Each structure stands twice: as C-alpha cells, then as structure tokens.
Structure 1
C-alpha cells in the first residue's frame, strides 16, 4: 500500500522561473528585479515563493522568488518585446517535457499568429504595431500576452495620476529613481533603463503614463538649456 507522501508527490512539479533567471535573461540587476517582484507581491498583483539559495562562488545564502508562468508574464509586462521574447522562449524550454500542454500550446499559437501578421506590420508606427500585435495574440491565444496601450485603454488614460488605480510600472520606476539618486533626469532615460522601452517606442501615451508616475513620486518637468528634464520637487 503506498504511503501518504507517495500519493501527495505523484503530480509532476509545476515549472517556475526565478527572479534571478529573469535578471540573467534580461541583463538586469537581480536586486532591481527583486524590488519589482516584491512591490507587486505587496500590492497583491503577483504571487511567488521567496526561496533561499547558496551562491556557487562565495557560498553565501541569498534569496530569490520563484514565479509560475502567469506571475512571470505580469512581472515582465513592461519590458521591451525583445526581452519578453527571451522570457517566453525560456518558458517554452521549461515546458519541453509537456507537463502543461496548455501553456506550450498558447506560446506556439502566439508564434504562429506573429508570423502570419508580419507582412502587415511594415510601415506602422510603434503604437499601431503594438495594438495590432495585442489584438492578434489575444484572438489567437485567449490571453493578454501584450497589453494594449492604445488611447482607449484605461491604463493609458492621460489623467491616470488623478485616479486611485495603481500602475504596475510604478514600483519599477520608483526603484530606478531611488537608485539613481539624481536631482534631474530625462523621461527617456526612465523609459529605456527602468522599463526597457526603446526611445522609438516611447509615444505620447507612454510618455504621459511615465510622467504621471513621476509626478506622483514627487518629480516635475522643467525646461533647461539642454532640453526638457524632470527634477525632484523640494519638500516643504
């Protein structure tokens, strides 16, 4: 007769991706990835397992957070398409044993859909390409793999800073500005270095969204001899 433990362990383990692996795949700092993930966990947006590991070089014990597919996709939602592709490709490798065919099928369907619409992407502006990709992937897979940031999307409302709705980019932007410790900064630098959004992909809606977050964090836009900069408001 099998023991209780053997009955419990008959199910295959659920694949996970660690915050450390996300940092390695995207070329980012593990500390920054951890800050982003923990910020989202504190807000109840994602869930993960905080797990200790021993560093192979110095033997010290550090912490990483293990995420399933859904929570990984939420964490990287603000990353550039190139970095998201690296994460998705890694998930396809993790699902190589076909333990969860639904996820593997979704990713394959997404790839096929992208191949079909490639000829129609030429000549479109960045925002238009993103919107077409978003709607096509949602139709093909049933999932919001690329959130639509078109003007009609509530998350991109110009007056977002006046609402109580939290923005999932805020923890990442706040972490970057805190680490930067600068009294002035360009919005494009925040987009590129904090959110991995290339300058060519920063349209009006994205700029407004980042600007709303920065204003909420105590920054304001000003004009200088070198152009438009954001400066930290003086307290008091």
Structure 2
C-alpha cells in the first residue's frame, strides 16, 4: 500500500502522511520503501511524487498515529487486497457442445 493511498483513506494531506512516516522511520518503528510515482498537479502539469510503499504492519502503525477512527478503513482495504490476491481464476463453463467435448478429444488424441 502506498502513502498516497493511506492519505486518501484517512482524508489527510499526503505531505503530512509522508512527514509522519519519516518521523517513524527516524525512530526505527517502520521501514518502508520509497518510490517515484508519476502524478498530475491541480493545474494539470505532470509531476513526480515520492511515495512510501508500506507493508501491512507498518500501515496499521501509521494509520493509528494519523487517525484512529480510520483504522477500520485500513483493515477493510487490506482485506480487499488479500481477497483479490487469493481469488481463484474464474472457471468458464463451456458454451457449446464442441467446447465441452474438446478436453475428451485431446485425451483420445494422446
């Protein structure tokens, strides 16, 4: 999860979230990666913004510091991310008799 996404979830400014993360890094509490992310400013100009990529544990720590009332949103988002990652590839039922018989035909050919 990115620091920008945490800012959106907690309805805080991204620069404030980054400042908090930097203070937590200085204390040795969190250890996120930093990345450059393309974005567009309010006027429509292209910008490169540095964002932190945080793991699940660190995101809980950050949100607890920022806004305890939004911790539930963070938990919900991590559950969405985990469910999406664990979701099986959907199985498609055959639409025609030919599609249904194709696996049997392949077995007979071998």
User: TM over 0.5: same fold?
Assistant: yes
Instruction: Please say if residues 20 and 62 of structure 2, whose CA atoms lie closer than 8 Å, have aligned partners that are also in contact.
Output: yes
In the TM superposition, what are the counterparts of 1:10-25 in structure 2 within 5 Å? 17-25=1-9
Runs of 4+ displaced beyond 6 Å: none
What is residue 157 of structure 1 aligned with on the other side?
Answer: none
What is residue 72 of structure 2 aligned with on the other side?
Answer: 85
SS at match of 2:35: strand
Measure, in 1, the Cα distance between the counterparts of 2:75 and 2:46. Answer: 31
Correspondent of 1:72 among 45, 59, 72: 59
SS at match of 2:49: strand
What is residue 34 of structure 1 aligned with on the other side?
Answer: 18
Note the alpha carbon deviations across 1:212-232, whole angstroms, 9 max, x for none.
xxxxxxxxxxxxxxxxxxxxx
SS at match of 1:72: helix
What is the TM-score normalised by the length of structure 1? 0.33
TM-aligned CA deviation for residue 30 of structure 1: 0.3
Measure, in 1, the Cα distance between the counterparts of 2:58 and 2:68. Answer: 17
SS at match of 1:50: strand
Instruction: Please say if residues 4 and 14 of structure 2, whose CA atoms lie closer than 8 Å, have aligned partners that are also in contact.
Output: yes
Measure, in 1, the Cα distance between the counterparts of 2:37 and 2:68. Answer: 29
Instruction: Please say if residues 10 and 63 of structure 2, whose CA atoms lie closer than 8 Å, have aligned partners that are also in contact.
Output: no
In the alignment, structure 1 residue 63 sits paired with structure 2 residue 42: no
What is residue 38 of structure 2 aligned with on the other side?
Answer: 54
In the TM superposition, what are the counterparts of 1:149-160 in structure 2 within 5 Å? none
Unpaired segments ≥5 residues, structure 2: 88-110
Bigger Cα Rg: 2
What is residue 94 of structure 1 aligned with on the other side?
Answer: 81
Instruction: Please say if residues 38 and 46 of structure 2, whose CA atoms lie closer than 8 Å, have aligned partners that are also in contact.
Output: yes
SS at match of 2:31: coil
TM-aligned CA deviation for residue 50 of structure 1: 0.8
Larger RCO (CA within 8 A; separation ≥ 6): 2
What is residue 92 of structure 2 aligned with on the other side?
Answer: none
Aligned length: 82
Measure, in 2, the Cα distance between the counterparts of 1:22 and 1:90. Answer: 10
Unpaired segments ≥5 residues, structure 1: 1-16, 100-236
